[in-house]
Structure 1
Amino acid sequence: MASNASMTHGAVGMSASKTPAAAAAGRLQNIDALRGFVMVLMLLDHLRETWFVYVNVTDPFDARMGLPAMGIARFIVSFCAPIFVALTGLGVYLFSIHHTARETTGFLVKRGLLLIAIELLFLSPLYWGIVPQPTFWLQVIWCIGICMIALAGLMRLPRPVLIGLGIALVCFHNLLDPIRLAQGDSFFPLWALLHQRDTILLPLGFVAKTTYPLLPWLGVISLGFGIGPWFRPEVDPATRQRRLLLLGFGMILTFILLRLLNIYGDKPWHAIEGDPVRTLVSFISMTKYPPSLLFLLPTLGGGALLLALFERIKDSPLIAALAVFGGAPMFFYLLHLSVLRILYHSALAIWGPNHGANFGFDNYNWVFVWYAAMILPLYIPTAWFARLKRRRRDIAWLKYF
């Protein structure tokens, strides 16, 4: 059985990691592997942002104008944030099994504040010099931090109430889409943080971009916490896998039905005459900021299916390798973004801008070339750090990464 430390920190993105051989024997190996799978996918999206920063990608993706390969890739990487946030909620539940409510609350508040600080003080400045003015990007790490602090209170609700709240936020937040506030309105900053992707003006010329409005993500982390009892040690693996399969297929079928109806949950899709590929891209292009109901149904449903699959093949080398990334996700996240920023600014300094003020490649296939080239170089330091965390549990700060 996996240790309490690995179950706790790993599921919230800062796990005490294991070597691949030891991790493969863990009961919760599938969780680490799924988190690692998400991190590997995330690299693909961030490579696109690095070398195609000059390409304006709409939300949802415009299948009539954009490159189809980019639209398909964007759908694939859409699984990252929903799965990661849901696994955070699941990890909090696993932590709470072995700790008091007070200890869990302290854990959530401290980790949440740390994540907020990382987003504002480290990750946002990485993009300064690429964007025209200093911007605080309130993205996924910031969002998870806020959601963890909120979950410190929400977890005290009866489990059926918490699950009901999560379902309501995920399924019905799109009813709030018509509410649009503007700069200067009394509640504009609060509404921009909660549901409206927008820009908040700050003193000294700074701005904040609310890339990840909070309401639907609070629903996702609540649902992740809500399925926690499925992963208790006494639950039969076959029972857990059956529940995950029913949940996953149910969400995907619901997505297909609602998307075909084209009446709720996201912007309509369009059949593009004579171009079935672009029609498919239109069908699978949903709104991420904030995540629509139709964005969350297939991504969370796919995550449930992958959890069941990864548990069934937990002894495979692939799962062990993915678990290395999943065992030290914060380290990998900070590492790969830092490397990408260094590569981008180096290319800009050497060759200069070739697309307006930006440097970028003309052929999208270069994203896949870079993706294949970077996996192993990023794996090596991540595996080293994972082993260091396992070996030096006496160094308290290591567990935060």
Structure 2
Amino acid sequence: MATSMTLPPGGINLAAGGTKATAHARLANIDALRGFVMVLMLLDHLRETWFVNYPVTDPINALTIIPAIGFARFAVSFCAPIFVALTGLGVYLFSVNHTVEETTEYLLKRGLLLIVIELVYLSPLYWGIVPQPTFWLQVIWAIGICMILLAAFMRLPRPAIIALGLGIVCFHNLLDSIVLTKDDALFPVWALLHQRDAFDLPLGFVAKTTYPILAWLGVILLGFGIGPWFTGEVAPAVRQKRLLVLGFGMIAAFVLLRLLNVYGDKPWFVVEGDPVRTVISFISMTKYPPSLLFLLPTLGGGALLLVLFEKINDSRLVAALAIFGGAPMFFYLLHLTVLRILYHSALAIWGPNNGTAYMFDNYNWVLLWFVAMIVPLYLPTVWYARLKRRRRDITWLKYF
């Protein structure tokens, strides 16, 4: 019997076109991949909380970086591109069982909610660490803006959406030479679009455009564009073949462009007598905003992981990761809140040990805390994910 059960992005959407078991096997990999990058995100945020005294440039400096951080930085680079692309994919699957008007309403409401969360809740979490109150316009902000823009772009023909997404992702680095200063009238607009920077706001506040939105718009459009691959009309073997071609093709393009060293990011270099640092230089790309070479291996790797998780969809690993992926906003807010509480508790108990901050003196402590926190964060996330699936009558739950 055909089943049509609809959940918003962030939860499995059993779109029409297959049995419940088939749809679950087809789409559980999406939640598993989303959960995988959420867990990786925890590692990056632990470093930003307890090891921020060790400077990490963008891109990282292969000559000075601790090798463990260099490779960890590459691993966590997969988080934002995959999450934004899956947001676009989730919107498409949401639209399968909803009208254009209903999908537009959802995108506008959720987009605005994400912007409010970034400005009103997430930014103040850092005000006890940074000296000046700053609105950090980070990934949640960028996704919110991109969802609002997607409400308009999704009305275009699918080939046009894909072409626009490809055009932005492949060619936005041509704009890198355009650098505006605070004296230029369009500086705030350009900082929001493409140039990572900061500009002053009234009452002494500052806005820091950590995630300029242009490149991320291209990513969410591409995620939306491949949405039809995940409907019931596409056979699993066909979808997996497409994803394998896409994934390996993007990784091959990355290797080729990186070896040519002519476009897509800052050049890499050979560190004489140190092959490890040479490798770190090769895999170190610009994230703010994400360069073409940053997006190729991360999105390509995401496509390959979708195939892997679909093939092992009955495993405990996929089931556990899907829990994190089924309640991504809850987990995101939970782990950042817990980290801030732990940080300020440590600062209050032991006082500063690095200027005005309390920091670890060894990166191994970050890795240890990463392992130790997964289960404690998993348990409340399980509860919330089950609540979302059980109480579909509570409207606001679908926005988290």
Tell me which interval the TM-score lies in, with the shorter structure as reference length.
Answer: over 0.9
* 1:335 counterpart residue number: 334
TM value normalised by structure 1: 0.96
Q: 1:174 to 1:33 in 2, by over 3 A?
A: same
Check the 8 A contact 1:34/1:326 in 2, yes or no: yes
* Aligned AA (1:199): A
Distance 1:83 1:368 in 2: 22
Check the 8 A contact 1:30/1:319 in 2, yes or no: yes
CA displacement at 1:25 relative to structure 2: 4.1
CA displacement at 1:4 relative to structure 2: 3.7
Distance 1:165 1:215 in 2: 11
CA displacement at 1:301 relative to structure 2: 0.2
Q: 1:2 to 1:385 in 2, by over 3 A?
A: farther
* 1:112 counterpart residue number: 111
Gaps of 5+ in 2: 15-20
Check the 8 A contact 1:2/1:28 in 2, yes or no: no
Check the 8 A contact 2:199/2:206 in 1, yes or no: yes
Percent of matched pairs sharing the same residue = 75
Check the 8 A contact 2:191/2:212 in 1, yes or no: yes
The CA deviation string for residues 92-143 of structure 1, in whole angstroms up to 9 with x for no partner, is: 1111111111111111111100000000000000001101110000000000
* 2:179 counterpart residue number: 180
Check the 8 A contact 1:16/1:386 in 2, yes or no: no
CA displacement at 1:334 relative to structure 2: 0.2
Question: What are the within-5 Å matches in structure 2 for residues 10-21 of structure 1?
Answer: 10=10
Q: Tell whether 2:6 aligns with 1:5.
A: yes
* Aligned AA (1:292): S
SS in 1 for 2:9: helix
TM value normalised by structure 2: 0.96
* 2:323 counterpart residue number: 324
Check the 8 A contact 1:23/1:29 in 2, yes or no: no
* Aligned AA (2:313): K
* Aligned AA (1:127): Y
Distance 1:314 1:107 in 2: 29
Q: Tell whether 2:96 aligns with 1:87.
A: no
* 1:159 counterpart residue number: 158
Check the 8 A contact 1:16/1:390 in 2, yes or no: no
Distance 1:357 1:363 in 2: 18
Question: What are the within-5 Å matches in structure 2 for residues 191-202 of structure 1?
Answer: 191-202=190-201
Check the 8 A contact 1:16/1:399 in 2, yes or no: no
* Aligned AA (1:376): V
Check the 8 A contact 1:32/1:326 in 2, yes or no: yes
- Provide the aligned C-alpha RMSD in A: 1.7
Distance 2:4 2:292 in 1: 35
SS in 1 for 2:10: helix
Check the 8 A contact 1:82/1:300 in 2, yes or no: yes
* Aligned AA (2:256): L
Check the 8 A contact 1:2/1:26 in 2, yes or no: no
Gaps of 5+ in 1: none
* 1:306 counterpart residue number: 305
Q: 1:200 to 1:16 in 2, by over 3 A?
A: farther
CA displacement at 1:324 relative to structure 2: 0.4
The CA deviation string for residues 178-208 of structure 1, in whole angstroms up to 9 with x for no partner, is: 1000012110000000000000100111001
Check the 8 A contact 1:24/1:315 in 2, yes or no: no
CA displacement at 1:9 relative to structure 2: 2.9
Q: 1:193 to 1:23 in 2, by over 3 A?
A: farther
List 4+ stretches of structure 1 deviating above 6 A.
none
* 2:145 counterpart residue number: 146
Check the 8 A contact 1:199/1:209 in 2, yes or no: yes
Question: What are the within-5 Å matches in structure 2 for residues 2-401 of structure 1?
Answer: 4-6=5-7, 8-10=8-10, 25-401=24-400
Higher RCO (Cα < 8 Å, 6 or more apart): 1
SS in 2 for 1:28: helix
SS in 2 for 1:136: strand
Distance 1:388 1:92 in 2: 21
The CA deviation string for residues 197-233 of structure 1, in whole angstroms up to 9 with x for no partner, is: 0001001110010000011101000000000110111
The CA deviation string for residues 324-363 of structure 1, in whole angstroms up to 9 with x for no partner, is: 0000010000000000000111111111111122111111
Q: 1:169 to 1:324 in 2, by over 3 A?
A: same
* Aligned AA (1:143): A
CA displacement at 1:5 relative to structure 2: 2.8
